[in-house]
Amino acid sequence: MLLVAAATWGGGYTFSKIALDAIDVQWMMAIRLTLGSMILAVALWPRIRRTRLSHMVIPGMLLGLSYWMAFMFQMEGLTSIAPGRNAFLTATYCVIVPFLVWCVARRAPTMRNIIAAIICLVGIGFISLPSTGLGLDFSTGDALTMVGALIFALNLVLEGMFAKKFDPLILTLYEFVIAGIMFLAGALIFEPIPSLTSFTPTISWSMAYLIVGSTLIAQTFQNAAFSKIPATQGSIILCTESLFGVLFAIVLVHEHVSIETALGFVLIFCAILLSELRIQHHRRPRAESMDPNNGIAGGHLGISHHRESRERHQPAH
């Protein structure tokens, strides 16, 4: 089940890229989160009726704002770089979280976290090597994606803090609703309304995949699996999301991966594994509580994500 969840979330990067060929970023995310919120609200309705929602406004606003910002940067980055590259750069949030916890909770990262961060930086360096010539090929899309990864990490730290006091599933619903509203407002102000002709069968199936696959099926499988196996084992399995992100990109959109980039992917994946080892409790970016000092796996995002566990509950991640 967890392997299916990881594969589904990994595929979200490629299907987000396909959807972005016809729909602007904010409209795509507005549609995705609005429909996802509706589905989640129906599923959680009995719990919603028992919850005092007014007590969760400020945590919900903070989570929704950070979730919106993270996806804005990640998806804007995805418009100009390949989905596999976007998947691995987004996954670096796993390595970033312990250092944000250090800033917020004054809990120093372990030597393992520091080594993982160094390996991750080396991996990013290999990804940035140009196919020919000297220097680095770190594009604007790469930079936007890395900023998104940083904000995803911040979002997870906030979730870890708030989930100790509030229902994590209701927090996720708040997060979806507020981020969806912000994406819708931004889309109405800054982007043209997509025409019906934009929703070709390919685009429509891609959106369906992001809403149903990344949000519902993958999350359900993860929740069911974590009730049967240790969280440490599960977190390692879910690390394969970034690998599936590259696999989907190669198969569906024929992404070219150079030797240098492949080596960078391997180093980042090793850094993520090192960061996830010896973890007592697992949490992703896209709807359960997460202790920021415990396991973190990626968003998303798309959708993520996560990386959300979140929605990536990401999507792209």
Query: Using an 8 Å Cβ cutoff, are 44 and 170 in contact?
Result: yes
Mean pLDDT for the stretch of residues 89-96: 86
Rounded to 5 degrees, φ, ψ at 139 are: -85, 175
Of how many residues is the chain composed?
A: 317
Q: Which pTM does this prediction carry?
A: 0.81
Question: Which pLDDT score, from 0 to 100, does residue 299 have?
Answer: 39
Tens-place pLDDT, residues 144-160: 999 999 998 898 888 87
Mean pLDDT for the stretch of residues 226-239: 62
Query: Using an 8 Å Cβ cutoff, are 300 and 309 in contact?
Result: no
- The CA-CA-CA angle for residues 43, 93, 276, to 5°, reads 85
Question: Which pLDDT score, from 0 to 100, does residue 306 have?
Answer: 40
Query: Using an 8 Å Cβ cutoff, are 282 and 226 in contact?
Result: yes
More confident residue, 316 or 273: 273
Mean pLDDT for the stretch of residues 197-213: 92
Tens-place pLDDT, residues 45-57: 988 888 888 888 8
Residue 187 has pLDDT above 90, yes or no: yes
Residue 116 belongs to what H/E stretch?
Answer: helix 111-127
Cα torsion through 156, 162, 165, 166, rounded to 10: -80
Residue 208 has pLDDT above 80, yes or no: yes
pLDDT above 70 covers a percentage of the chain that reads 78
Question: Which pLDDT score, from 0 to 100, does residue 172 have?
Answer: 82
pLDDT category of residue 200 using cuts at 50, 70 and 90? very high
Residue 292 has pLDDT above 50, yes or no: no
Residue 298 has pLDDT above 50, yes or no: no
Tens-place pLDDT, residues 14-39: 999 999 999 999 999 999 989 988 98
